[in-house]
Structure formats: C-alpha cells, structure tokens
Amino acid sequence: MGTLKPLIIGDLVAKNPVIQGGMGVGISLSSLAGAVAKAGGVGIISTAQIGFREPDFLTNPLEANLRAIGTELKKAREIAPEGIIGFNIMVATKGYANYVKKAVKAGADLIISGAGLPVSLPEYVAEAAEEAGIKLKTKIAPIVSTVKSAMVICKMWDRKYHQAPDLVVIEGPLAGGHLGFSKEDLAELGVDTDDVEHTYKQADYDEEVRGIIRLVKEYGDKYNKVIPVVTAGGIYSHEDVLHQISLGADGVQVATRFVTTVECDAPEAYKQAYINAKKEDIVITKSPVGMPGRAIKNRFLEGVGNIPFRLEHCYQCLEKCDRQTIPYCITKALVDSAEGRMEDGLIFCGSNAYKAERIETVEEVMKDLVGEK
C-alpha cells in the first residue's frame, strides 16, 4: 500500500491520518497535543479534571477546569500554530455543556466526545458560538463502538438538529482508559470484558467497523458531505494502521503509543510504568460509575474493594457518581498517578501498553505509524 492519504475533516486537513487520543487526568495536555499537531496529526487535549494543577482546583474545580481549557489550548497553539488541535470531552462529565461551550469559545478545531452518547453536542456547540458572537468552526465527533450506537447518534442528530457528524470515531474493545462502551455493548458482540483476550475476535469486530462505515456514508450522502471515520483501540504499529485503512477507515486514533514519548504530559514515573508493564499486568477494572476501564495492575487496584473507602473530598467530576457507594474516587486516583504516585493511583492504558520498550519522540512515533523511514 502506498503513502497514506491526509485526514480531511471538512476544511481541516491533517497531513497524517492520525488523531492522538485524549487521555486524562493530565496525560494529554498542551505539550503532547501540540507536538502531535506539529508532526502533522491531530492533537487532542483531555478536559478530564484539566485544571488539577490550578491553585483553586480543590475549592472550585469547575472554574479551575474551564480556565485551564483556554490556557492549555493557547499553549498547544504556540507549539503548533498551523496544527489541528481539539479536545476530548466525556459525556459523563458533570457540567458537560460548560466544558463544550468553553472549548468552542476558546477556538477548538474539534471536539471528540464519548463515555456516553453525546446526544446534545450539536446544540451546545451552536449555543456557544452564538453566545460568543463567533462563526462556528469547531467540528464535532461522537465516539461509537457498534452499528447500533452509531445509528442512535446519527438518527438523533438528523432528526433533532438536521445535521450529521463531521467525523466519527469508532472505539473498539482494545481501547484504553474509560471505555466508550458498556459491558452490555460488548456482550452483544460476543466479547466478555472480564476476558477480552479470549473472547475478542478481530474478524468479527472488523465486520462491525465496516457496518459503521457503511452507515456513516449513508448520512454523509444525505447531507452531501464526506464524513471521515477513524478507528481506535489497540492501534500501535504501522501494520495496525494499514489494517484499519484496509477496512475503509480514513484514519486512526492512537493514545497508548504516545504516552511513552518525550513530549507526553505524564510524569516520567507514569511512562516508566508502561515500559515496565507485562501483558498480564493490563486488566479491565470498573470505574466508580460502572463503566469499564483498562489499567495497569498495581497496589491501588489490588486494594480496591478490599480496603475500606471513605470519600474525603468531592471533585465534582462525573455526573452519575453516588458518593455513598463508590469504591474509590476516580479523580483522586487519576491525579495521584498524574503526579507520579504510581502505586497509589489508577494507571489507565490501552491493551498494548506492554509493548512499550523505550521513550521516543512524537516525531519518531508519527513516522513509524505512517510508515515513513
């Protein structure tokens, strides 16, 4: 197969068809997103507790996070003035609409949204542009995992907003962090989240991907636009990228591979945890709000459910969080690891994190992914 084609999202053109996945808390901020955009890909900043380093984060998490959205985007733009930079905003975020509106007003090129179906995303984006008196330029992309979830979001946006997505991200069962699907979603595909290794069948999921691509094309035809489809989950090498392109994908979203780069915002101890991890260390765990997530086994994970937990401070992070019954605080667990306390925190990762052997630069990773020497 020859040179990969650029990724075209409306009037945005990325030389390399690689979107860097959003990773929070504090793993993909301005340094990583800016470097990826500079290398010709699409850099994505995660808004998950993005303001955790702000002085008023403990007392005013929402304001701290919204302020940091503007700060991080500005810093990323300084690294890559001509690059494409966007945000990943989880639907499960408490105050979701505020985050979307702030990202639009700050000038984000793209918003990718999952961890729930972003049914109201078009409305919030349009309202933000109107409130700010600016022309709407921010592209929007839902994360889906099945034909069924893609159908729900496309139908709803079509009926309610008379529009289709600008981009669709398909997140497969090998993805990292908070997964964009439930155990039930995967069960319909014959995948058991407690035993992904033995129940995930690449060929079966490839068919699901092809089905989503066909569906998205129907909505693209209806709105007389090309809607690129990007696949995510378990994509680590150039061969993985070529496989996704062969299915009909327009590009890929890669997260885990970018963690072990010089430019990644994670602390060195976090990157080293990936390098030290063995395949058997990567497990599926349950988030306090019931969503599955993939992480590296450590003292923290071994203690969940065995060590009594009492919530000392609420960071107002997730919409559907029952403070009385949660086994741990997801914000505290992720901030602990983002600040280098690796045995006390949650280390989210993708299924291939164990393949990391050394620290690379973003430029090196990008060249490897797209097959450039």
Domains and CATH numbers, the chain: 7-267+354-370 (3.20.20.70), 268-352 (no CATH)
Asked, as a colleague might, if the bond just before 25 is cis with ω within 30 of 0, I would say yes
What is the rounded distance in angstroms from the CA atom of residue 264 to the CA atom of residue 21? 12
- Structure confidence by residue, pLDDT tens digits, 8-17: 999 999 999 9
The whole-number average pLDDT for the span 22-50 is 97
Look at 38 and 284; give whichever has higher pLDDT.
38
Is 54 within 8 Å of 291 (Cβ atoms)? no
More confident residue, 319 or 39: 39
Q: Quick one: how far is CA 99 from the chain centroid?
A: 15
> Which tens digit of pLDDT belongs to each residue from 153-180?
999 999 999 999 999 999 988 888 766 5
Residue 77 has pLDDT above 80, yes or no: yes
Mean pLDDT across 309-329: 86
pLDDT in tens, 200-240: 788 889 999 999 999 999 999 999 999 999 999 999 999 99
The pLDDT assigned to 307 comes to: 73
Distance of CA 228 to the CA centre of its chain: 17
pLDDT computed for residue 183 by the predictor: 67
pLDDT at residue 373 is higher than 80: no
